[in-house]
Amino acid sequence: MRLGRVYGVPESKRRTGILPPGKYFQISMPGPAFTEQFLEPPLSELPFEWARIYDPKGARDFPMSKEEVLAIVDFVHQPSSYKRLIAREGASGDDRLRGVLQLPIFQIERAGNQVEVQFAYMHGLMWGYGLEVTLECTPTGYKVKTWGEWVS
């Protein structure tokens, strides 16, 4: 895992500006780990914005712990996590699984015991496509509740 600071440069406004700094995660796929040398990562390992936990009552949100983000990313990148969904959905389930393993993580958010993980390409404001996986937090880890495709 790599952690760092990132600046956003919005392109959708008349004037280009720089947004306040944020934090990012970059997590390698199971197997090879990152080295000290920075190399162009595969698409599935692109950095993503720090994951957030939202208060269901809307009071405030806060950053997710590194340990929880790692656990979620490890879970969603395991093909066995989707076994019952693939069996029920057939070929489209296999296509979605390929997408989950190849698309970069775009965003992770948790509210209560529900986690939303988006795998996506965003080319600009309201211009992207991807997959969304909804997880349920269980006493022993996570369970995939639903998954689907989206386009904007």
H helix runs in the chain, sequence order: 66-76, 83-89, 91-102
pLDDT > 90? residue 68: yes
pLDDT > 80? residue 142: yes
pLDDT > 60? residue 13: no
Q: Which residues of the chain form beta strands (DSSP E)?
A: 2-6, 22-26, 48-49, 52-54, 61-63, 105-111, 114-124, 127-138, 141-151
Q: Is 114 helix (H, G, I), strand (E, B) or coil?
A: strand
Structure confidence at residue 54 (pLDDT): 86
17 or 50: whose pLDDT is higher?
50
Q: pLDDT category, 12, cuts 50, 70, 90?
A: low
List, in order of start, the domains of the chain with CATH numbers: 2-151 (3.10.450.630)
Q: pLDDT category, 10, cuts 50, 70, 90?
A: low
**Which tokens go with 125?**
């404001």
Residue 116 and residue 146: Cα distance in Å, rounded?
A: 10
